[in-house]
Amino acid sequence: MESTDNHWLQPETAKAFKDQHKAIPYQELLEDTIAWCRPRAGERWLDLGCGAGQLTKALWAAANGKLAEVVGSDCNPANEALYLKQQLTPHCPEGVRRFELCNFSSGLAQFPDGYFDGIVSGLAITYAEHKDPATGKYTDQAYTHLLKELKRVLKPGGRAVVSVNVPEPNFVSIMVKSFGSAFRIRSAGKAFVNGLRMLYTGRWLRKQARVGRFHYYPAEEVARRMEAAGFPAVRHRLSYAEQAIILRADIDPANSIAPKAA
């Protein structure tokens, strides 16, 4: 990724998306995602593309504060402080939660094979990008590699729960459905400005997806690619005002019956 032309690497983007968890559609997505994670005591989890750490917070609470480790990783350095400031309940002991700066377009090399019991990722894996140096065109090479990396860093029996936007996501619809919650937070004006920043970013994301830089695939195509990456059992459902797809990919097919819709 080049910081000069990637909004995800800009501090302003981190600030704009910091409060999105207060919006009604995001709360729906958060609840639906965690319902399919079902974290258990003693497990290690990776929050991939963690942003300010809302999924980590929800994972920790769902496991009653008994995870062995939770690692947040993000490509934007500005998210490290936001992530580590996130208040976890019950109390999280020192060293159990950590942040890793990670450009997952290059893979997950800093994590060893079979390290995590679970991976959760919220609206992130879509943005793995690769430009062919010979042709100058974007390809799906980084996206395909990242799916294989998810499989590699999971333990036998592990699972990945990821959300991705639907093709041509309607970010205006998401913002409109968020207005009801925007006026219940402390600074409605700030929330509105951040909403406009999110809309601007959303327009840029759709434009880049159309030239192949990012990857907004239908649910069946994402599931097919995850299966090709080594996950024999993949389930999916809609959430986020029907603008996102949640997928649960299990290494062990026997576990595929476990997820429950929220």
Amino acid 196: pLDDT: 59
Task: Give the range among 14-28, 64-78, 98-112, 207-221 with minimum mean pLDDT.
Answer: 14-28
Residue 130 to residue 135: CA distance in whole angstroms: 12
Length of the chain: 262
pLDDT greater at residue 204 or residue 10 = 204
Q: What is the mean pLDDT of residues 172-201?
A: 59
Residue 16 has pLDDT above 60, yes or no: no
Amino acid 17: pLDDT: 53
Q: What is the mean pLDDT of residues 5-25?
A: 62
Residue 193 lies in a domain: yes
Residue 2 has pLDDT above 60, yes or no: no
Task: Give the range among 31-45, 66-80, 133-147, 164-178 with minimum mean pLDDT.
Answer: 164-178
For residue 18, which of 133, 235, 186 has the smallest C-alpha distance?
A: 186
229-234-237-242 Cα dihedral, nearest 10 degrees: 10
Cα-trace Rg, the chain: 17
φ/ψ of 86, rounded to 5, equals: -60, 125
Share of the chain above pLDDT 70, in %: 80
pLDDT greater at residue 151 or residue 202 = 151
Q: What is the mean pLDDT of residues 65-69?
A: 98
Residue 262 lies in a domain: no
H or E stretch at 13: helix 11-17
Residue 92 to residue 60: CA distance in whole angstroms: 8
Residue 96 lies in a domain: yes
Q: 234 lies in which domain range?
A: 3-254
Residue 11 has pLDDT above 90, yes or no: no
Residue 245 lies in a domain: yes
Task: Give the range among 94-103, 122-131, 248-257 with minimum mean pLDDT.
Answer: 248-257
Q: Label residue 175 by pLDDT band (50, 70, 90).
A: low
Q: Label residue 3 by pLDDT band (50, 70, 90).
A: very low
φ/ψ of 15, rounded to 5, equals: -65, -40
pLDDT tens, position by position, 205-214: 889 999 999 9
The total number of structural domains that make up the chain:
1
CATH code of residue 128: 3.40.50.150
Amino acid 261: pLDDT: 45
Q: Label residue 201 by pLDDT band (50, 70, 90).
A: confident
Amino acid 9: pLDDT: 63
Q: Return mean pLDDT, the chain.
A: 87
Peptide bond into 90 cis (omega under 30): yes
Q: Label residue 159 by pLDDT band (50, 70, 90).
A: very high
